[in-house]
Amino acid sequence: MALRILVVDDHALFRDGMVSLLKAAGLQVIGEANNGQEAVSEAQRLKPDVILMDIDMPVMNGIEATRQITGTLPGIKVVMLTISQEDQKLVEALRAGAAGYLLKSLNSDEFIKLLQGVERGEPPISGSVTARLINYVAQQSSFNDPIDENLTDREVELLGFLGQGLPNKSIAARLGVSENTVKYHIKNILQKLNYNNRAEAAAYAVRHNLTPRS
C-alpha cells in the first residue's frame, strides 16, 4: 500500500511541484496545507501516514505544528522538509517528534528513495544530516555520563550500530536477526531513554563511545 502523504508548505508553487513528484513516484497525496495551524487540523481530519512539513511558515511554524501533531497522533510520521541547514533547528525539529529531516536541495531520486524507506522503518534523513546531528547533540553533553542501567547488552550493542547511522537492514544482518527484531529493540531503547527518534539514540551512542571501531 502506498504511503498516504500530507504536504505542508506556504509556497503554493513548491507544493504543486512536490505533489507532482510524489504522484509520479506512485505515492498517494491525500491533502495539502499552507501553514502549521492548517497542518494540525488536516492531520486530525485525514490521519496521513506521513506529513512533509516545512519549518518556516506563517501563523504557526513547522516545529510547533510537529510538536502538537506527534503529541496527539503519535502514529503519524512527520518529516521536516526545508532549505535550512541550521543544526539548532534540526535538533529542535527532532526533539519535537519529527521522524526525519530532508533538505529541499536533494535531487528527486534521492528524495524519493529516502521517503520510501519510511515503509521499511528507516529514518528519512540523509547521511550528511545524520552525521551533523549526531556530532552536534553529542557535543552538548558530557562523555562522563554512565550508560543507562536499564539497557540490555543487546540494546547497547544495537545502539552502537545506530551511532554509525546504519539502516535497519544492515543492523539486522550484522546482528543475525530479522528487521522486525531490530525495530522491536529500537522501540524499547527509545522508551527507556525517553527519546523521540533514533537520531537522538545515535547521538547517545556517540556520546558514550558505543560506536564499533571499523
Domain with residue 117: its CATH number is: 3.40.50.2300
| Window from 121-125, 148-152, 164-168 with minimum mean pLDDT | 121-125
In a domain, 65, yes or no: yes
Is the pLDDT reported for residue 214 higher than 50?
A: no
Q: Could you tell me if 54 and 148 lie in one domain?
A: no
Tell me the C-alpha distance between 129 and 30, whole Å. Answer: 28
In a domain, 81, yes or no: yes
In a domain, 54, yes or no: yes
| Window from 32-46, 48-62, 121-135, 173-187 with minimum mean pLDDT | 121-135
Q: Could you tell me if 110 and 143 lie in one domain?
A: no
Average pLDDT over residues 166-177: 88
Q: Could you tell me if 49 and 83 lie in one domain?
A: yes
71, 101, 125: which is the final residue of a domain?
125
- pTM of this prediction? 0.70
In a domain, 131, yes or no: no
Average pLDDT over residues 197-207: 78
Instruction: Look at residue 132 in the predicted model and tell me its pLDDT.
Output: 66
Is the pLDDT reported for residue 197 higher than 50?
A: yes
Q: Could you tell me if 21 and 108 lie in one domain?
A: yes
Instruction: Look at residue 67 in the predicted model and tell me its pLDDT.
Output: 92
Q: Which residue has the cell 510520521?
A: 77
- Residue scoring higher pLDDT (128 or 119): 119
Instruction: Look at residue 122 in the predicted model and tell me its pLDDT.
Output: 72
Is the pLDDT reported for residue 133 higher than 70?
A: no
Q: Could you tell me if 75 and 24 lie in one domain?
A: yes
Q: Could you tell me if 109 and 156 lie in one domain?
A: no
User: Buried b vs exposed e over 157-177: b needs ≥16 C-beta within 10 Å?
Assistant: bbbbbbbbbbebeebbebeee
Cite the DSSP H helix spans in the chain: 12-24, 36-46, 62-72, 87-95, 108-116, 127-139, 153-163, 168-175, 179-193, 198-207
In a domain, 214, yes or no: no
Q: Could you tell me if 103 and 185 lie in one domain?
A: no
Is the pLDDT reported for residue 154 higher than 90?
A: yes
49-104 per-position pLDDT tens digit: 999 999 989 999 999 999 999 989 988 989 988 776 666 777 788 778 888 888 88
Tell me the C-alpha distance between 97 and 137, whole Å. Answer: 15
- Give the chain's domain count: 2
Average pLDDT over residues 198-212: 77
Which residue range(s) make up the domain with 199?
Answer: 136-207
- Which strand ranges, in their side-by-side order, compose the sheet holding 28-33? 28-33, 4-8, 50-53, 77-82, 100-103
Q: Could you tell me if 178 and 144 lie in one domain?
A: yes
Cell of 9: 508548505
Residues 6 or more apart whose CB falls under 8 angstroms from that of 23 comprise 29
Instruction: Look at residue 64 in the predicted model and tell me its pLDDT.
Output: 94
Cell of 98: 519529527
Is the pLDDT reported for residue 9 higher than 60?
A: yes
Domain containing residue 196: CATH number: 1.10.10.10
Q: Could you tell me if 102 and 141 lie in one domain?
A: no
Q: Could you tell me if 116 and 18 lie in one domain?
A: yes
94, 125, 156: which is the final residue of a domain?
125
91, 125, 159: which is the final residue of a domain?
125
- Quote the percentage of the chain above a pLDDT of 90: 42
* Angle, CA 7 vertex, CA 131 and CA 75 arms, to 5°: 70
In a domain, 38, yes or no: yes
In a domain, 27, yes or no: yes
pLDDT category of residue 10 using cuts at 50, 70 and 90: very high
| pLDDT, mean over the chain | 84
